[in-house]
Structure 1
Amino acid sequence: MKFLFSALLLFVGTVTAARNGIDFIQPVTVATFQCIKNAGYSFMIPRVFTSLGSIDHTGINNVKNARAAGMTDVDGYIFPCLASHCPGGADQVKQTLDAIKSAGTKVSTLWLDIERLAWPADHNSNRAFIEAMVKEAQAYGQQVGIYSNYYNWQDIVGLDYHGQSNLMLWWAAYDGVKDFSKFAAFGGWTRPTIHQWQGTTAGPCGVSVDMNYVP
């Protein structure tokens, strides 16, 4: 019986280890982050750079507010700008990290949003752009990860490109299921770190969010 009770405790601990998180772009106050935290969401990923080529100061302020609310797992994501007037990939990362530092805060992980929007057809050029972003983040000592999925990766860099498989993967698949059961390996990844399982929806405490899950 003692063994059974211990096994049940282990099982309960395993089940409750799963964590829920959100990503979003709207401004959120410290009080609302406290509400979100109390609602059972343990990680936040605000946008910190936009696809228009500008720093997302709202997102950086969200990072600050989330930390002020007592959250420790606060990331940020860059939605790269591919237009000709935008700085190169490394410069976009540099500008973002400098702005985050100037704001007196930090992100635990900087995610690079690699999804289909204005990427050129040249896979080699796209690979080089991503590699420059990653190297710049690492030069800052910043932990960095990739946000993508099978079809985005296929179109942007090709499924044979495994150059970033050593990084964490934030897997986007709006399948409505909070697990990794439908994950198909790509880009050298055999398992994601985070699953973005639901797109824009009315989230906790009145915030419009995407829903994320970590087992």
Structure 2
Amino acid sequence: MIISIVNYLMKSLSIFLQIFAIAALIFSTVSLIGLDSAPAVAFQSNFDCLKSAGYSFANVRAFSLEGIDLDLSVKDTLIYAKRAGLKTELFIRPCRGKSAKLQIDAVVLVIANQYYDRFWLFLEDNPNPGCTWGNDHKANCDYVKEMLAQLKYFQTPAGIQTSDRFYRQIFGSQGCDLSQYPLIYSHNDASPSFDDYTAFGGWSAPYGKVFQNNVTLCNLTISKVYEKEFKSSNLLIE
């Protein structure tokens, strides 16, 4: 009888540990991307709070008006995030009507890449006047590749954030081969997994997924991303 009870308890403990391990794995892969609130209102306590909540990286918007003006408070925001123990990254939403090269220069020459690990191009609609994508899909592709070439010139790791819908809208049916860069795709289904992913644009597998937008956490408005690290050289360009 005692042996049966011990075996039952050991089996129960084993199941519990397996569930705990799975939960810990899932939780550890949930991170945050983007700060939709103005970085000027962010404080060290905001990022300490995010770190305590289990988040692992902060991807900070570099332009205050999406391709118009560099937000000079971004450096302080990155420093806060680093001090909290978060991995730091930057993103911009390109303004199609402005120089591709100069938009990269405006960020990289002001904010040294020692403050962030990767520079993401957020390829979706830009509603600002003069910033919308044109109908010349090849020209759009050349424009993005010019941005990426400038990042390569500065030896800055780059990545692409987009969705299947916006990718096709910007580059058309012929597409634009950017698959050498890691991809974060968008699908606001509140599910931290890649189960919904359908290959597009040459990416056989994604690097991350934005799965929830406009979440208020630690007095900041953020979007959440599920990220899974890959060792494949065509996904991690360092």
TM-score range, shorter-chain basis?
0.7 to 0.9
Partner of 1:67: 82
Compare 45-54 and 92-101 and name the one that shifted more: 45-54
How far the C-alpha of 1:10 sits from its partner, in A, is 11
Name the aligned partner's letter for residue 226 of structure 2.
Y
When the two structures are superposed, what TM-score results if normalisation uses the length of structure 1?
0.86
Q: Where do 4+ consecutive residues of structure 1 move more than 3 Å?
A: 7-17
**What is the SS of the residue equivalent to 2:51?**
helix
How far the C-alpha of 1:160 sits from its partner, in A, is 3.2
Point out where structure 2 has 5 or more consecutive residues left out of the alignment.
Answer: 1-6, 8-13, 127-131, 229-238
> Is residue 2:226 matched to residue 1:213?
yes
Name the aligned partner's letter for residue 193 of structure 1.
Y
Q: Deviations over 1:2-52 (max 9, x none)?
A: xxx6x9499647545423223113221112111110011111111012424
Name the aligned partner's letter for residue 97 of structure 1.
V
Per the alignment, do residues 32 and 17 of structure 1 end up closer, same or farther by CA in structure 2, a change over 3 Å counting? closer
How far the C-alpha of 1:211 sits from its partner, in A, is 1.3
Point out where structure 1 has 5 or more consecutive residues left out of the alignment.
Answer: none
**What is the SS of the residue equivalent to 1:100?**
coil
Mapped partners of 2:33, 2:123: distance in 1: 18
**What is the SS of the residue equivalent to 1:76?**
strand
1:81 to 67, 71, 95: 95
Following superposition of structure 1 onto structure 2, how do residues 72-151 of structure 1 map, counting pairs within 5 Å?
Answer: 73-83=87-97, 86=98, 88-101=99-112, 105-117=114-126, 118-151=132-165
CA RMSD of aligned residues (A): 2.4
Mapped partners of 1:82, 1:162: distance in 2: 16
Task: Report if the CA contact (8 A) 2:33-2:224 is conserved.
Answer: yes
Mapped partners of 1:172, 1:45: distance in 2: 15
